[in-house]
């Protein structure tokens, strides 16, 4: 299994070898994340809210989702690298905060509220 450190090293080599560091500013990378996330979202435009199994079974769609998701992660690693953010630590801290913020009781209340908005 590859970790974020290996991806960070590959990213650094990739942009240095191409002299692209000058273009990888926080603003540009944040825009790139947004654009790639929207390309991911576009794959689901005008489709029903399919369960994961349906998306997994559609090999073409699944492959495109995998590709766009990878782009989002790559640009996230790039931004974290440029800003000296340990992405593994940031993810761990955010997950811990979410576990506190959305305890089981709060999550159950939210689920009940969301279910009330479902269309028949």
The 10s digit of each residue's pLDDT in 31-69 is 999 999 999 999 999 888 888 999 999 999 999 999 999
Are residues 26 and 82 in contact, defined by beta-carbon separation less than 8 angstroms? Answer: yes
Residue 2: pLDDT band with limits 50, 70, 90: low
If asked whether residues 64 and 15 sit together in one domain, one would say: yes
What is the span of the domain harbouring residue 68? 4-85
Of 7-16, 34-43, 94-103, 110-119, the range with the lowest mean pLDDT is 110-119
Helix (H) and strand (E) counts in the chain: 6, 0
pLDDT exceeds 60 at position 1: no
pLDDT of 50 reads: 84
If asked whether residues 11 and 21 sit together in one domain, one would say: yes
pLDDT of 112 reads: 83
If asked whether residues 71 and 92 sit together in one domain, one would say: no
If asked whether residues 75 and 99 sit together in one domain, one would say: no
If asked whether residues 79 and 93 sit together in one domain, one would say: no
If asked whether residues 29 and 60 sit together in one domain, one would say: yes
If asked whether residues 17 and 59 sit together in one domain, one would say: yes
Distance CA 78, CA 7 (A): 9
Based on its alpha-carbon atoms, the radius of gyration of the chain, rounded to whole angstroms, reads 18
If asked whether residues 97 and 39 sit together in one domain, one would say: no
If asked whether residues 28 and 59 sit together in one domain, one would say: yes
Distance CA 36, CA 74 (A): 10
If asked whether residues 62 and 102 sit together in one domain, one would say: no
If asked whether residues 79 and 90 sit together in one domain, one would say: no
Q: Specify the number of domains making up the chain.
A: 2
Are residues 15 and 21 in contact, defined by beta-carbon separation less than 8 angstroms? Answer: yes
């Amino acid at each position: 299994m590859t970790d974020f450190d290996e991806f960070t090293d590959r990213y650094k080599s990739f942009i240095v070898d191409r002299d692209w560091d000058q273009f990888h500013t926080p603003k540009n990378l944040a825009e790139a994340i947004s654009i790639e996330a929207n390309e991911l979202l576009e794959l689901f435009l005008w489709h029903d809210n399919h369960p994961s199994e349906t998306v997994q079974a559609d090999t073409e769609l699944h492959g495109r989702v995998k590709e766009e998701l990878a782009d989002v992660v790559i640009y996230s690693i790039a931004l974290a690298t440029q800003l000296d953010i340990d992405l593994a630590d940031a993810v761990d801290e955010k997950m811990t905060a979410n576990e506190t913020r959305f305890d089981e009781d709060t999550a159950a209340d939210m689920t009940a509220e969301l279910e009330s908005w479902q269309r028949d």
